[in-house]
């Protein structure tokens, strides 16, 4: 409808403007418009990726809402919040209070520790020397996944755009986190997503994703707030001091009956 209105306006102008303006460039073709939308999307994503990659340290809060079908098929929505602190290239802390079972995750460049204070349980495993490699190992060994893993990647642009078959710039929003954001849509054969990235500071504000290859095509949403870049982070931030006397359990997916369970505490990696 908007394109039709724009075309009607262009025709009206062509008829009534003076002849002196008749040599103006013709309207952009649909193919050129798509190319421009793609170029703008890439520009916005690269700028966001560069801003994140340049930060030696950072902290932020990620509020993740995800959809899980009930026994009758009705979609239920659960929310977790993660307070994230990292130091590149090899340190990460994630504190996740309720909903669900509160848990903590620490990575100091050598080991990764998953800690559940309420159950006085911890799981410890050797870890690779980079955050990205550690996140892969945490998923493979313990089924641990964080919905913000692309944000903390060494090359966020590559992580966000990998396997993308469609991308375009949607426009701007003035209502997310009280700032102006650029909206970019990405998709491939399995996933469709939309990102809201700060127009000025280039930081992620919100991500919405639909997984078309999963039953019921569930929706996921992550809202990012409280951004702080290049801050001083004490070394002890990445040490699980409170877990020093906790009971040790295997670093494996949480299937042990001794482990408290709650649907809101379970993350699903796409």
CA distance 143 to 137: 9
Per-domain residue ranges of the chain: 53-265
Given a cut of 80, is residue 68 above it in pLDDT? yes
Six-digit token string for 213: 């290859």
At residue 95, the pLDDT reads: 96
Per-residue pLDDT averaged across 72-100, rounded? Answer: 91
Least confident of 98-107, 158-167, 209-218, 256-265: 256-265
CA distance 231 to 241: 22
More confident site: 203 or 11: 203
pLDDT band at residue 195 under the 50/70/90 scheme = very high
pLDDT band at residue 102 under the 50/70/90 scheme = confident
At residue 204, the pLDDT reads: 97
Q: Are strands 121-126 and 166-176 parallel, antiparallel or unpaired?
A: unpaired
4 three-class SS: helix
Answering whether pTM is above 0.85, one says no
Least confident of 22-26, 101-105, 167-171, 187-191: 22-26
Give the chain's mean pLDDT.
83
71 three-class SS: coil
Q: What is the CATH number of domain 53-265?
A: 2.50.20.10
At residue 255, the pLDDT reads: 63
At residue 9, the pLDDT reads: 36
pLDDT band at residue 267 under the 50/70/90 scheme = very low
Given a cut of 50, is residue 19 above it in pLDDT? no
| Under 8 Å between Cβ of 169 and 37 | yes
At residue 27, the pLDDT reads: 55
pLDDT tens track for 133-155 = 999 999 999 999 898 999 999 99
Beta sheet of 111-116, edge-to-edge order = 166-176, 179-187, 191-198, 204-211, 219-229, 57-69, 75-87, 91-96, 103-107, 111-116, 121-126, 247-248
Establish whether the linkage from the previous residue to 213 is cis, with ω within 30° of 0. no
At residue 217, the pLDDT reads: 79
């Amino acid at each position: 409808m908007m394109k039709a209105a724009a075309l009607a306006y262009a025709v009206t102008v062509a008829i009534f403007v003076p002849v002196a303006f008749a040599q103006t460039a013709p309207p952009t073709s649909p193919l050129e418009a798509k190319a421009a939308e793609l170029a703008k999307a890439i520009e916005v994503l690269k700028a966001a990726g560069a801003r994140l990659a340049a930060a030696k340290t950072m902290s932020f809060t990620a509020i993740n809402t995800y959809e899980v079908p009930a026994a009758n098929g009705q979609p239920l929505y659960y929310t977790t919040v993660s307070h994230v602190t990292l130091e590149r290239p090899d340190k990460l802390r994630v504190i996740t209070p309720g909903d669900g079972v509160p848990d903590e995750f620490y990575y100091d460049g050598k080991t990764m520790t998953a800690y559940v204070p309420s159950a006085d349980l911890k799981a410890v495993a050797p870890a690779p020397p980079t955050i990205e490699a550690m996140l892969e190992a945490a998923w493979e060994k313990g089924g641990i996944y964080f919905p913000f893993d692309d944000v903390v990647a060494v090359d966020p642009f590559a992580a966000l755009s990998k396997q993308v078959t469609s991308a375009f710039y949607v426009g701007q929003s003035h209502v997310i986190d009280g700032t102006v954001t650029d909206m970019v849509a990405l998709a491939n054969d399995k996933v469709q997503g939309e990102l809201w990235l700060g127009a000025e500071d280039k930081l992620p504000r919100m991500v919405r994703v639909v997984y078309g290859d999963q039953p019921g095509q569930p929706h996921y949403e992550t809202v990012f707030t409280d951004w702080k870049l290049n801050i001083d982070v004490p070394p002890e931030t990445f040490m699980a001091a409170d877990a020093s006397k906790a009971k040790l359990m295997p670093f494996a997916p949480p299937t042990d009956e001794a482990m408290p369970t709650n649907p809101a505490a379970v993350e699903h990696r796409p």
